[in-house]
Chains A and B, each alone.
Chain A
Amino acid sequence: MKVISGKPESLTDKKYHYCPGCMHGVIHRLVAEVIDELGLREETVGVASVGCSVLSHNYFNLDMQEAAHGRAPAVATGIKRVLPDRTVFTYQGDGDLASIGSAEILHAAARGENITVIFVNNSCYGMTGGQMAPTTLPGQLTSTTPLGRDVKKEGYPLRMSEVLATMDATAYIARTSTHNAKHVMKTKKAILNAFKAQQQGQGFSMVEVLSTCPTNWKMKPVEALQWVENNMMKYFPLQEFKKVSGGDQ
């Protein structure tokens, strides 16, 4: 019997603490599958962020380092510069990367640090109770915008992929989604491209993955996936924004 799909070696046996239907689990698995396929399990260092994925070191069967809130790209910069032969990735949410960690991500990208960033965008602060995040859509209900995000008062969402794609030193920037199996597979391909860009020393790579928060959106898991498709994807178009040519990708 051949295993078509199952638990990759780069994941531990521990049960996730994530809410039912949270796509963090799928994205964890995709990262682990890519690391397994590239044969990098023994030489990869992951940097966890603060947010729901703060405990991701329990689930990745890799060397993991916890960073202060938003500082994962800075910690990853240090690790990569001291150990340039390792593959270094950060796993961050939108509150972590786009809000408190916006300085770190912008300057890591501007410096062209040869690291890979997995950016999970679920348009709210999941862990702390669904408050408005920089990625919250206009009009979206959250616990701090009970009447919907008012763009006159709270401004517009940040499109991080578009921002980083304008920088000279970035090598691979893509936005993908997890709302159905086809897009989950496309996400895996994008993560593979990002890790390959790092392997080839091309510079900074990031994959922004649209995800769900059924608990704070107050939706059933299947409804949350539909909400991603019908609302989030309109504001955050799925695209490969930047891909440095050269090499087998």
Chain B
Amino acid sequence: MSKVVVSFRKENCKGCGLCINACPKGLLDFSESTNNAGYPTVYLKEEESCTGCALCAVMCPDVAITVEKEVSA
């Protein structure tokens, strides 16, 4: 499987949890840390299982998630 990198703009996250709800594999969850606004932030539990479908980023109302995928030449 090609490599996928999911990055979060933590300060934009408001902890609504729509990405956690959208992930078909249930790979996202709230982390124990909060951002400066006090919202719980989200992290990817198992990076190697992520297929890069980007449904989390599609549903994120705060454009806080960027999904990048390695393109095979």
Residues of A within 8 A of B (CB): 1-7, 11, 15-16, 18-26, 28-29, 180-181, 184-185, 214, 220-222, 225
Pairwise interchain contact A181-B16, C-beta atoms closer than 8 A: no
In residues 1-46 of chain B, which contact A (Cβ within 8 Å)?
A: 3, 5, 11-12, 14-18, 21-22, 39
Cross-chain contact of B62 among A5, A25, A184 (Cβ < 8 A): A25
A16 touches B68 (CB 8 A): no
CB-CB nearest in chain B for A221: B16
B61 and A3 within 8 A (CB):
no
* Pair B67/A5 contact, Cβ less than 8 Å: yes
Name the CB-closest residue of B to A16.
B62
Could you jot down 8 A-B contacts, CB within 8 Å? A2-B68, A4-B69, A6-B63, A6-B67, A16-B61, A181-B22, A181-B58, A221-B18
Spell out B's residues near A (CB within 8 Å). 3, 5, 11-12, 14-18, 21-22, 39, 52, 54-55, 57-63, 65-71
Q: Is the CB of B58 within 8 A of A20?
A: no
Q: How far is the CA of A188 from the CA of B17 in the complex (A)?
A: 22
Residues of B with C-beta under 8 A to A24: 61
Contact between A4 and B57, CB atoms less than 8 A apart: yes
A185 / chain B contacts, CB cutoff of 8 Å: 58
Instruction: List, in ascending order, chain A residues with CB within 8 A of B16's CB.
Output: 20-21, 214, 221
- Smallest CB separation, B61 vs chain A (Å): 3
How far is B5's CA from A29's CA once the two chains are assembled, in angstroms? 21
A26, B5: Cα distance in complex, Å: 21
Docked-complex contact A15 and B62, CB < 8 angstroms: yes
Complex: A25 Cα to B42 Cα, angstroms: 18
Interface core residue of B11, B39, B69, B71 (most chain A CB under 10 Å): B69
- Most chain A beta-carbon neighbours within 10 Å: one of B18, B21, B54, B68: B18
- Residue of A11, A20, A225 touching B14 (CB-CB under 8 A): A20
Given A26-B60, A181-B55, A184-B59, residue A222 in contact with residue B18 (CB < 8 A): yes
Contacts of A26 in B (CB 8 A): 58-61
Which residue of A has the minimal Cβ distance to B23? A181
Q: How far is the CA of A25 from the CA of B22 in the complex (A)?
A: 16
Chain B residues within 8 Å of A11, by CB: 63
The answer on a CB contact under 8 Å between B67 and A3 is: yes
- Distance to closest chain A CB from B52 (angstroms): 6
Query: Is B61 touching A25 in the complex (CB atoms < 8 A)?
Result: yes
B61 cross-chain contacts in A, Cβ below 8 A: 16, 18, 20-26
Q: Are B5 and A20 in contact (CB under 8 A)?
A: no
The 8 closest A-B pairs by CB, nearest first: A25-B61, A21-B16, A5-B57, A20-B14, A6-B66, A5-B54, A20-B16, A221-B16
